[in-house]
Amino acid sequence: MSAHDRHGPLVRHEQVHIADDSPWKKLPMAFGAIGVGGLLVAFALKGSDPAKFWSSYLTAVMWGLAITLGGLWFVIVQHAARAGWSIVVRRIAENLMLALPVVAALMLPLVFLGTHDLFHWSHPEAVEHDPILKAKAPYLNEGQFHIRAFVYVGLWTAFAWAYWRWSTAQDTARDAAPFSHKMRRWAPVAIISFALSLTFGAFDWLMSLDPHWFSTIFGIYFFAGCVSAVAATIALTVILLHRSGYLRGVVTAEHFHDLGKMMFSFTVFWGYIGFSQFFLIWYASIPEETYWYSYRGHGDWLTLSLVLVFSRFVLPFLGIMSRKIKRNPRTLAFWCVWILVAEFLDMYWLVQPALAHTRGVEHIRPDLFDVTTLVGVGGLLLAVFTWGLTNRALVPLKDPRLEESLNHENF
Amino acid sequence: MAKRTKTYGLLAEYETPAALYRACEKVRDAGYAAWDAHTPFPVHGLERAMGLRPSIVPYIVAVMGFTGAGLGFLLQYWSSTEAYALIISAKPYNSYPAFVPVTFELGILLGSFGAVFGMFGINRLPQLYHSLFNSKRFYRFSDDRFFISIEARDAKYDPERTRKLLEATGAASVEEVED
């Protein structure tokens, strides 16, 4: 392995740069076109049922946010912990994080145009005769809702852009150390801002869909999904890059093993948080808390709830447990795709029952809104992500501890 | 009383982890089974150089963990539906969500027992006596030296040939250890 050669570079240029004639170079434009096309079709269809459209749109954006917010979390937490193992996969997470400002900005049209269609609390006439909503009005009102949306999007954009700039600028810097110091020094600030903005973002955009209901653990529930989704996306991307001949001998079975462990642990964490939320509400049995689960427990929604329990926890828990499965790219790739699909189901399960409940609909019919918004959001996310992959080195070349990461081994 | 002079095996001493690593590969390739390496800290990849198969502890943990979880659930199921069937907060006797925490904890408890005591069992611990400590040199295994021991009970063991093999691996010293 070149990593043992102390005199040459740690990684060869062609291992970590995507060649100009590679099909990867065409992806940003292709995904961009697909994404813009998907969103245009979605918005063109919007008139037929605006509330359902915004519901599907929110599902897709929250799924994109789970992956990209996970990217930001991955980067800042590795800096804060001064982790060595993750340096060779950090750039993948940084490129996902680069897509965060775009995906987060997609939230703004909804906040300004779709609030009345989705959020019951945004109707003053409804709030007037409702003591619970009246009490929540100082927080849940449109003015504050708009301002908070700008704060979340602004914070995420600032941190994502700053960390991406610092890390990519380090690749060509004469003196690499100050960049590492800067990224580490800012990491705790970023983590605290991230934790607060993610929690309140999940309250605003997911929990307040049903404004009478509340759960203090809700932000952490969303966060658990973010982390397993980003670990799955990173591992899947590396497996695809390996197939094209990149990062071979740079990202090894040892790093796959660690990413698999992260997927596994946050699958368990998701189950733990999801059950804790359900358990307390079930046990106390207070009507204004239980009804959120009650209408997810009827008709097709009950089926989806059970599918979610098995697809998001039980099956991956048993499936990713083995060391062999985590270290084999084929089996790991299967579970990466599985986790990403399950994460989408989770967002669907969080967002869409609210509207179905107000309309008294107990069946689930995936429609064109669901497809086009997912294609739109996914396309834009992947366009920015693959732009980052194809236009910068695939690993932080001048990170002072790159060699440690290349030689990383699990016990 | 006559002193017993049975031989435990041969002990070879190395000065660096790299020397030990290469020596392990040679002992492995020579086909020995009853032998071990002793280092003051974990040496990455040594299990490959020694040709060790993966530990069976994970399987012990899995069996114990699932047994614990299953028994934990049955304990609660039996006591709430059969032994002390009481209605609590208007919930059915078999309120399985309420059983989850204890089921989980007992799964963890027996799983950890499986990990700790399974490891003890496989390593035949605790041992109050080990022949290798008859060598004064061996005490440095927990400080700054690296050792390979090949036991006399190994089918391939031969006092002369095994000693030659170890000397050929670049050992700083090779000595016979009494049982």
pLDDT in tens, B117-162: 999 999 999 999 999 999 999 999 999 999 999 999 999 999 999 9
Mutate to test the interface with A, among B21, B44, B99, B119 (most CBs of A within 10 A): B44
- Summary mean pLDDT of chain B: 93
What is the residue extent of each domain of chain B? 7-54+131-178, 57-122
For residue B47, give every residue at least 6 positions away whose Cβ sits within 8 Å of its Cβ, in sequence order, or none: none
Name the band, by pLDDT with cuts 50, 70 and 90, for residue B2. Answer: low
Contact B45 A278 (CB under 8 A): no
pLDDT in tens, A135-151: 999 999 999 999 999 99
Amino acid (1-letter code) at residue A111 = V
Contact A409 B100 (CB under 8 A): no
pLDDT of residue A7: 52
Burial of A48 (0-12, 13-18, 19+ CB in 10 A): exposed
pTM (predicted TM-score): 0.91
pLDDT of residue B3: 58
The predicted model gives A193-216 an average pLDDT of 96
Contact B58 A323 (CB under 8 A): yes
Name the band, by pLDDT with cuts 50, 70 and 90, for residue A18. Answer: very high
What is the residue extent of each domain of chain A? 39-169+180-393
Does the pLDDT value for residue A183 go beyond 50?
yes
Does the pLDDT value for residue A6 go beyond 80?
no
Dihedral angle sign, alpha carbons of residues A173, A178, A183, A189: negative
Instruction: State how far the alpha carbon of B93 is from the alpha carbons of A45, A287, B58, B106, in Å.
Output: 51, 21, 35, 21
The predicted model gives A385-404 an average pLDDT of 95
What is the DSSP track for A341-369?
HHHHHHHHHHHHHHHHHHHT--S----HH
Burial of A185 (0-12, 13-18, 19+ CB in 10 A): exposed
Nearest alpha carbon to residue B166 among B17, B26, B15, B55: B26
The predicted model gives A217-225 an average pLDDT of 97
Would an 8 Å CB–CB cutoff place A314 in contact with chain B? Answer: no
| Of the partner residues B44, B62, B100, the one whose CB lies closest to the CB of residue A279 | B100
Would an 8 Å CB–CB cutoff place A275 in contact with chain B? Answer: yes
Work out the percent of chain A whose per-residue pLDDT is above 70: 98
Would an 8 Å CB–CB cutoff place A279 in contact with chain B? Answer: yes
The residue of chain B nearest to residue A407, with distances taken between CA atoms, is B44
For chain A, the straight-line distance linking the first and the last C-alpha, in angstroms and rounded, comes to 20
For residue A108, give every residue at least 6 positions away whose Cβ sits within 8 Å of its Cβ, in sequence order, or none: A149, A150, A153
The predicted model gives B89-97 an average pLDDT of 92
| Of the partner residues B44, B45, B89, the one whose CB lies closest to the CB of residue A285 | B89
* Interstrand relation of B146-151 and B35-38 (parallel, antiparallel or unpaired): antiparallel
pLDDT of residue A2: 40
* Residue in the block written with tokens 């290469």: B22
The domain defined by B7-54+131-178 folds into: Alpha-Beta Plaits (3.30.70)
Contact A65, A58 (CB under 8 A): no
The number of C-alpha atoms within 13 Å of A306 and in the hemisphere containing its C-beta is 6
The residue of chain B nearest to residue A409, with distances taken between CA atoms, is B44
pLDDT of residue B54: 87
The residue of chain B nearest to residue A324, with distances taken between CA atoms, is B54
pLDDT of residue A4: 46
pLDDT in tens, B78-90: 999 999 999 998 8
Rounded to the nearest angstrom, the minimum Cα separation between B107 and chain A is 14
d(CA A311, CA B97): 19
Which chain A residues are Cβ-neighbours of B45 within 8 angstroms?
409
d(CA A368, CA A56): 9
What is the DSSP track for chain B?
-PPP--EEEEEEEESSHHHHHHHHHHHHHTT--SEEEE-SS--TTHHHHHTPPPPSHHHHHHHHHHHHHHHHHHHHHHIIIIIT---BTTB-S--HHHHHHHHHHHHHHHHHHHHHHHHHHHTT---S--GGGG-SGGGGGGTT-EEEEEETTSTT--HHHHHHHHHHTT-SEEEEEE-
pLDDT in tens, B29-60: 999 999 999 999 999 889 999 999 988 999 99
Name the band, by pLDDT with cuts 50, 70 and 90, for residue B27. Answer: very high
pLDDT of residue A5: 44
Which chain B residues are Cβ-neighbours of A411 within 8 angstroms?
42
Nearest alpha carbon to residue B146 among B53, B55, B50, B57: B50
Contact A285 B98 (CB under 8 A): no
The predicted model gives A236-261 an average pLDDT of 96
Nearest alpha carbon to residue A30 among A411, A316, A303, A384: A384
Rounded to the nearest angstrom, the minimum Cα separation between A288 and chain B is 17
Vertex B112: Cα angle to A262 and A271 (nearest 5):
40
pLDDT in tens, A326-348: 999 999 999 999 999 999 999 99
Which chain B residues are Cβ-neighbours of A283 within 8 angstroms?
89, 97-98
